[in-house]
Amino acid sequence: MIYIVRAIELKFDCGGSKWKREVQYHKVPMESMKNILDLKIDELQDYFARLGEPAFRVKQVYQGLYQKGYERFDEFTTLSRSLRQRLAEDFVLRSFKELDRITSPLDGTTKLLWQLSDGMKIESVIIYEKKRVTFCISSQIGCALDCKFCATGKMGWLRDLTVGEIVEQVLQMKKLAERPPTNIVFMGMGEPMLNYDNVMRAAEILADEGGLNFSRKKITISTSGIIPGIKRMADEGRPFRLAISLNAADQQKRLQTMPIAKKYPLEQLLKAAQYYYQKTRKRITFEYVLIAGFNDSIEDAKKLVKISRQVPCKINVIPVNSIDDHFPAPSQESLERFEEAIQESVYAVTVRNRKGWDIQAACGMLYAANEKQKIKPEKLSLTDQAH
């Protein structure tokens, strides 16, 4: 458990006109305090209105939080000392600390491990490309979906991240990154659609014009296929991008690696994707993790092309960041063959280079190493896959 030390100034009447000033320090569990990063700008306006403060205080605080990156309330020097003290009494500003950081000497990918106020741990990743810097952030501690090629799934679900914890990942990463982010993707630990309210609220805070002012079109919500979340996102007209982790172009193969396919079969998932496009007119991105000998054949490519004709989409082909030899990455020859098979038939295809493979940047692997846990994925039966 992490504590903060809160200073409380007391005045005692010692008789007559004399007063004694005393400052007492109290250890307060951080998780018992409200995180100021949980608040949207209108809620912060209400807070200052209750204090009788002028409306421009909100702009000062939001700029300090999101543009200047202040980490302590005493850095807000445009505020009075008494107001800074009041903020420190009412809110936490930074709720977790960096535990570990690994940077790839090959491509600069940086994997970060954070410890939260309750001692739990999460991961974030900074991915560098020529014209892009992508922040990959977590939405939950662990994950309940148990995708077989994902280390996070072996943890199980521990809890959802709060709004402030999601937002703080971005603020902390922004300070560490070599360049400002061009994209934010909810593709770290956890299933974003199972923490829907907090994820959407955090995304709105990150995009607020008075704060970080991040483009809503550059924020992507990725799901393994939670149909109610996809439909809700469409019905609410959310301005963010949607990505669906497909990873197999037929139900049987998808079910072998993604147990969620039993609850939400591929046929129903594609109907939900069509519904999303009809409501929003936005192309979906299908993420396709390529695993050698499992989903990288020409026949798999043809099935993927067929899906792309049902749903206007982009396809990201991502060579697997293997958590061990049960899920081998495809050879360069296999990757190029697969790309060629879908390239001419699909609206847009991106083949991602394997980022951070040398530092085990796949979700959950740094956490597992820190916890000294052995990740034991279930081995695919290539014989079963043929039927």
Q: Is there a binding annotation on residue 246?
A: yes
Rounded to 5 degrees, φ, ψ at 239 are: -85, 0
Q: Is there a binding annotation on residue 136?
A: no
Rounded to 5 degrees, φ, ψ at 157 are: -90, 130
Q: Is there a binding annotation on residue 295?
A: no
Q: Is there a binding annotation on residue 222?
A: yes
Which tokens sit at 311?
Answer: 């749903």
Q: Is there a binding annotation on residue 206?
A: no
From residue 287, how far is each of 20, 193, 339 by CA, in Å? 66, 16, 14
Q: Is there a binding annotation on residue 95?
A: no
Strands 110-115 and 91-92: unpaired
Which tokens sit at 347?
Answer: 């609206």
Rounded to 5 degrees, φ, ψ at 292 are: -60, 130
User: Is-catalytic flag, 123?
Assistant: yes
Distance CA 213, CA 204 (A): 9
Q: Is there a binding annotation on residue 150?
A: yes
Distance of CA 98 to the CA centre of its chain: 16
Distance CA 142, CA 160 (A): 9
From residue 61, how far is each of 5, 79, 88, 378 by CA, in Å? 22, 9, 13, 49
Return the closest-CA partner of residue 37 out of 168, 136, 137, 161: 168
Q: Which of 123, 165, 168, 204 is labelled catalytic?
A: 123
Q: Is there a binding annotation on residue 237?
A: no
Q: Which of 53, 168, 313, 363 is labelled catalytic?
A: 363
Q: Are 202 and 208 in contact (CB under 8 A)?
A: no
Tell me the CB-side half-sphere exposure of residue 21, using CA atoms within 13 A. Answer: 2
Q: Is there a binding annotation on residue 313?
A: no
Q: Are 201 and 219 in contact (CB under 8 A)?
A: no
Please state the residue numbers annotated as binding site: 143, 147, 150, 190-191, 222, 245-247, 321
Please state the residue numbers annotated as binding site for S-adenosyl-L-methionine: 190-191, 222, 245-247, 321
Catalytic residues: 123, 363
Please state the residue numbers annotated as binding site for [4Fe-4S] cluster: 143, 147, 150
